[in-house]
Amino acid sequence: MNPFQPPENRPPETPPPGAVRVAMPVSTPYVTYSLIAVTVLAYLLQMVSQWLTGTDILAGLGVKYGPAIRQFQIWRLITPLFLHGSILHIGFNMYALYVFGRGMEARFGKMRFLALYFMTGFAGNVFSFVLTPAASLGASTAIFGLLGAEGVFLFQNREVLRGRASRAINNLIFMAVINLMFGFSVSGVDNWGHVGGLLGGLLFSWFGGPLWKIEGIFPSVHIEDERKDNGLLSGSLAVLFFFIPLAAMGFLWPVN
């Protein structure tokens, strides 16, 4: 570049390869905090119900239970997300939601993240409904959905994220495999729900997750999400188109 050339006529400077750094989206995770608060409140109500009546009324009305679902208590494919069986159970799930939810809410946006949470929870409960007769409850179907969605997000945006993507994907795969192996090795864990939630997260994020591109001229560059306007709808429809017919199988060919 000619140092004596007027600034307005100089060509834009370009950074060396790999030197571009753009700020990641940040926001206060109100949706994540709200989901945690509602879930904790529901668990407190479960304990109060047991103390007053000797029966967990909320769980009786809301767990995933095949015969009740086939009596068209369809809400049981969603309500298990807010019900838990012990302090350890809810503590583990809410910690995982806190860890993963805050960053994912910033990247996906509040409404798309909320849709992701409910769609993957629904997917996990449908998978469990079709494949196992056992009653189940807990937010882990959606937690596994977040793992799957995050993995797809990292893969689809690996060029923008560069080296960070491959390391993070490896960590997610390791976490998912360890937890699934643990679930299949002990009794009382709805691992089919975990697998369904994972598949739901993969589907939602593949069709509706953030797809980033870098806009602007160095050094004024920023991230644009090509799916910002239609990601919520596309991701939700992808999950529903796959799992609603699967749910119909649970009505036609029950496992119990």
**What amino acid positions are annotated as catalytic residues?**
140, 194
- Cα-based distances in Å from 146 to 86, 141, 161, 169, 201: 22, 9, 19, 13, 6
- Are 244 and 229 within 8 A, CB to CB? no
For residue 8 the two structure tokens come to 């307005």
**String of DSSP letters for 148-208:** HHHHHHHHHTHHHHTHHHHHHHHHHHHHHHHHHHHHHHSTT--HHHHHHHHHHHHHHHHHH
Length of the chain equals: 256
> CA-based angle 35:174:180, to the nearest 5?
65
Cα dihedral 152→38→127→137 (10° resolution)? 130
- Residue type present at position 23: A
Question: Within 10 A of 180 (CB to CB), how many other CB atoms are there?
Answer: 16
Residue 14's Cβ-count burial label (10 Å; 0-12, 13-18, 19+) is: exposed
Beta pairing partners, 212? 225
